[in-house]
Amino acid sequence: MAFLKTPERTKERFSLLLLDLEEYYFEQHTAYHVMSSSKKERKIRGSFKVCSRSIIFDPEDLDEPILKILLRDCKKIEFVEKENNPFNEPRPSAISVSSGQIIYIKESNVIAPYRNDRGAKKITFELEVWNKTEDVVQTLLQLHRASCLDKLGDQTAMIAANLQSRLARSSFDKNCFQSVAEKPHMECPVEMVLPLVSNPGHVCITDENLYFQPLNGYPEHVIQIKLHRVRRIYKRRHGLRPLGLEVFCTENDFCSDIYLKFYNTADRDEIYYYIATFLENHVTEHTAESYMLQWQRGHLSNYQYLLHLNNLADRSCNDLSQYPVFPWVIADYSSSQLDMTNAATFRDLSKPVGALNKERLDRLLARYRGMPEPRFLYGSHYSSPGYVLFYLVRVAPEHMLCLQNGRYDHADRMFNSIGETWKNCLEGATDFKELIPEFYGQDSSFLENRQSLDLGRKQNGSLVGDVVLPPWASDASDFLQKHKTALESQYVSEHLHEWIDLVFGFKQRGSEAVAAQNVFHPLTYEGGIDCDSIEDTDQRIAMLTQILEFGQTPKQLFTSPHPQRITPRFQNITRSPSINSPVSDMSPASPSEDSSFEDLTEESRKLAWTNMGSLKVVSSHKIHKEAVTGIAVTRDGAAIFSTSQDSTLKMFSKELKDFQRSMSFSNMALSSCLMLADGKTVVCSSWDNNVYFYSVPYGRRQDTLMGHDDAVSDMCWFDDRLYTASWDSTIKVWQCASDSSSSHKRSQFELLAELEHDAGVNTVALNPAGTLLVSGCKDGTVTIWDNSSYGTLQQVHCHNGTIHHVSFSPDSRHVLSVGVDSCMKVTDVQTGMVISSVKAEEEQRCFCWDGNSVLCGGQSGDLLLWDLLSNTVTQRIPAHSGAVTAMWMSELCTTVITGGEDRQIIFWKLQS
């Protein structure tokens, strides 16, 4: 199991789990338990451990039980002086403990409920190093006084003072450094956090390693983590306070290499930023949005995505009060075969567990309506330490015994059957629990009683053994395999975003949670109560304990609806003639009747994008006097048209490698150009508020459209409709019909719609099917429009300042935008959520993309190849001596043409 792989690497019988919750193990001494009888004296050698609330004696003989003596049960602790009798063997000094109870643990070396032997007892221990005896007695007396204080708060404060004194008197042993050349950066006291327990010591970070040295030397003298192996680090809330830091040396496992709790946030943050600075060259810091984009596009499985969301939401396998939470996905535990093509097989992921049964929900709602504020539907949570160990008792029995004061739960309340557990979650008055990651993992041991533990006998007389599986599972491994398949199934992939909305998203709290019947006790929510503001120490500790044991709602990651996953059923197979070029958005998509040809074309595009880093310059030409603003290419690729701020439209012959024509429509800059589907007309937009139509065969201006009150900034074309964007804060949609009766074939322009914006529109684009329009404004707003109704679908203010370029992904699911703020933003069309945000080193002016990778033209003049799934630049290609201002890409993505502020046009070819 995941948390059993954490750094408790010792094989000895003693474990921190033998301590009470919130107890510390301070020191250990080799000692003898002296047992006297009427006939003779018997000595048992072992380890005498001083803990903050108890004495533990761990015998070397495994047949002997471990003894635990609670300091609060002690009537007297005495130092027995050394006896010097000349006639007998000298008796060493000893520790005498008189107690009203002794707890016996692991008798005959069997993990079982503890045995409490009540009644007055006197126990004697002799330390192997005699001269330490008196000091140990003084320590025990001090801790005994703390344990006997009336108020829990006073006890905790006195023990904490003892701990801090020990930490202050010690420091990290620098002889443990792996190299004499290592340079220490900082050192401070911390606690290493493990499930239910924590271990105090010192952390030291150097330019090569992170070290933790336990105060008590347990489970080993020092734990070392090489910084170059670290892949992820997370700040954590621990005990509701921002004191935790978790370090991972793996990408996808949810079991960390170390979890540290600091005593102040400043120390935590300093080590976090030191490691983050060290890592920034070879590790990407992922956000919920960047993982979402990877998941949406099929690069992360449902399982991996849920693990990452749990990690980002402060869930950790080292903190059982915030253990990773996974959904029930199957609702059928009675059929002999599992039919994953039937929706009835699956749980409704749009509802919390408590709302799946209408009759129970009606009873809960009736109680809710009569409840005073703050009201809640569910008095118990879907994830808590008790629920985690309910599932894992067979592999983590000592954790269960630790949590429940040395006892297992009643046999009939144990995890006996998967079907019965699901039924109870549907019908039980207080049972609303979800699952844990182990239900979708590889290790089935938590479903089998491999250790032959005596977990009790049920009312029907049967012993608690292996978990009873559904009829459709032949064994535990088969159950896990089918359960994993269900998690990755079509149905779950299509609906998992609904469950994420409930647990990590916008339906987690507030009015949306009320509407979704997803309201839990207020103490379970982050920020539900400020424990530090409670002045009464006992009340504060009791409140904190209640919160930690009751369960905690994950940190909220999303505040707007989570996008749906792109599954094969939903993917748009219609492809644009060219990916994200000024041409591609202008002509209607025409899917080939030969699907094999379509597949071949798509594979060619994918291959081209995989090799995009191998772009090479074919030729470059300086044909304008100012910055290039637009590029359009004829279908056969023979003629290239470009517009510029020098007010000219120029035609370049690819065959002759020289420009052939130059046309000026006004004395103001031209802002963009596009080639119509007939290949005979070039349309140019101008800062003089007009749009000009240029006839390629006749070599002259054919039409002028005077349509705006300010500069026309950008255009796109689809199916005889022209979309013009202007700094007058509008986009106008025109129906353009040629007049066939006229010898000059002049066009008639009918205004179909005027789309109002709050600021000047700087860029506009259509999706490949021509059904959606996206605009980018000078105020940083991206707006997505429905072309059938001309209504607004989404409006997102996602940039600070002018947006330079926007475009849909080939599947129309996402919009990419770049702006003056140097940010690249991916917006989900369905929900309007910004699902990826990348801050570039420089302003990006234009781009082409395939949904995953982006070829950008930057302010520096370089072409940057971005991987949006990892938010990293994979290639930087020197190009222009000024900003790249225009870009065109061919249908199969093998040819790229760029224009820049340096007045050049550069032709690029992909090297095979």
User: Predicted confidence band at 441 (pLDDT cuts at 50, 70, 90)?
Assistant: very high
User: Could you give the angle at which helices 385-392 and 537-550 cross, rounded to 10 degrees?
Assistant: 40
pLDDT at 777 over 50: yes
Do 140 and 49 contact (CB within 8 A), yes or no?
Answer: no
Give the pLDDT of residue 152.
85
Contact indicator for 861, 604 with CB cutoff of 8 Å = no
Q: What percent of the chain stands above pLDDT 70?
A: 91
For 88-114, write each residue's pLDDT tens digit: 666 788 999 999 999 999 999 999 999
The residue written with tokens 């592999």 in the block is: 395
Mean pLDDT of 342-364: 96
Exposed / middle / buried, residue 243 (Cβ in 10 Å: 0-12, 13-18, 19+) = buried
The type of residue at 97 is: V
User: Given a cut of 90, is residue 645 above it in pLDDT?
Assistant: yes
Tell me the pLDDT of the chain averaged across its residues. 89
DSSP state of 266: H
Name, in order, each residue with C-beta under 8 angstroms of 17's C-beta and a sequence gap of 6 or more.
196, 197, 398, 399, 401, 402
Q: Is 233 left (phi over 0), alpha (psi -120 to 50) or beta?
A: beta
pLDDT at res. 241: 84
The Cα 693–Cα 703 span in angstroms is 5
* Residue 425, φ and ψ in degrees, nearest 5: -70, -25
pLDDT at 5: 54
3 state SS of 270: helix
For residues 521, 526, 528 and 534, what is the CA-based torsion angle, rounded to 10 degrees? 120
**What local confidence, expressed as pLDDT, does residue 739 receive?**
56
Q: What average pLDDT does the segment 222-227 reach?
A: 94
- pLDDT per residue as tens digits for the range 528-585: 676 666 777 777 777 777 777 788 999 999 999 999 998 764 333 232 333 233 333 3
pLDDT value at residue 746: 60
Q: Shortest CA distance to 882 belongs to which of 907, 855, 905, 862?
A: 862
- Which has more confidence, 297 or 211? 211
Interatomic CA distance for residues 387 and 811, integer angstroms: 42
CB 349 within 8 A of CB 501: no
In angstroms, the CA 112 to CA 398 distance is 8
Q: What is the pLDDT of residue 656?
A: 61
pLDDT at 84: 60
Q: If you average pLDDT over residues 749-753, what whole number do you get?
A: 93
On the question of pLDDT at 33 being above 50, the answer is: yes
Euclidean distance between the first and the last CA atom of the chain, given in angstroms as a whole number: 47
Closest CA to 591 of 571, 606, 609: 571
pLDDT at 300 over 80: yes
Asked whether the CA dihedral 482, 485, 489, 491 is positive or negative, the reply is positive
pLDDT of residue 10 exceeding 60, the answer is no
d(CA 414, CA 421): 9
DSSP result, 282-295: T-----HHHHHHHH
Asked whether the predicted pLDDT for residue 278 surpasses 60, the reply is yes
d(CA 3, CA 15) in angstroms, rounded, equals: 14
The pLDDT, as a whole number, for residue 591 is 35
Band of residue 454 on the pLDDT scale cut at 50, 70, 90: very high
251-271, pLDDT tens digit by residue? 777 788 999 999 999 999 999
CA Rg value for the chain: 35
At residue 679, does pLDDT exceed 90? Answer: no
Question: Are residues 266 and 347 in contact, defined by beta-carbon separation less than 8 angstroms?
Answer: no
Per-residue confidence (pLDDT) for residue 587, from 0 to 100: 30
| Cis ω for the linkage preceding 59 (within 30 of 0) | no
* Residue 151: Cβ within 10 Å count: 12
In this model, does residue 296 exceed pLDDT 60? yes
**DSSP 8-state assignment for residue 126:** E
pLDDT digits (tens, 9 = 90+) for 403-429: 999 999 999 999 999 999 999 999 999
pLDDT at 233 over 70: yes
Question: Averaged over 621-631, what is the pLDDT?
Answer: 94
Residue range 204-223: average pLDDT? 94
- What pTM, to 2 d.p., does this model score? 0.83
Return d(Cα 643, Cα 712) in angstroms, integer. Answer: 13
Q: Is the model's pLDDT at 29 over the cut of 90?
A: yes
pLDDT, greater one: 708 or 38: 708
At residue 14, does pLDDT exceed 80?
Answer: yes
109-150 confidence digits (pLDDT tens): 999 999 999 999 999 999 998 889 999 999 999 999 999 998
| Residues whose CB falls within 8 Å of the CB of residue 175, separated by 6 or more in sequence, listed in order | none
pLDDT given at position 826: 94
Sheet with 904-910: strands ordered across: 615-622, 904-910, 895-900, 884-889
Confidence of residue 632 (pLDDT cuts 50, 70, 90): very high
Domains and CATH numbers, the chain: 2-167 (2.30.29.30), 171-285 (2.30.29.30), 320-550 (1.10.1540.10), 591-622+851-896+906-912 (no CATH), 624-850+897-905 (2.130.10.10)
Task: Please give the Cα distance from 558 to 563 (Å, whole number).
Answer: 11
Alpha helices, DSSP H, located in 74-171: 133-147, 152-168
pLDDT on residue 232: 87
Helices (H) and strands (E) in the chain, counts: 14, 42
Residue pair 226/181 in contact (Cβ under 8 Å)? The answer is no
User: Is residue 171 over pLDDT 80?
Assistant: yes
> CA-CA distance, 226 to 70, in Å (whole number)?
40
- Residue labelled with tokens 């299509």: 494
Measured distance CA(559)–CA(578) in Å, rounded: 35
Alpha carbon separation from 880 to 99, 539, 628, 643, 884 (Å, rounded): 84, 67, 11, 17, 7
Question: Which whole number is the average pLDDT over 728-738?
Answer: 91
Calculated CA dihedral for residues 865, 866, 867, 871, nearest 10 degrees: 160
Q: pLDDT class for 742, splitting at 50, 70, 90?
A: very low
- 359, pLDDT greater than 80: yes
C-alpha angle 768-849-488 in degrees, rounded to nearest 5: 85
| Helices 490-503, 302-312: crossing angle, 10 deg rounding | 10
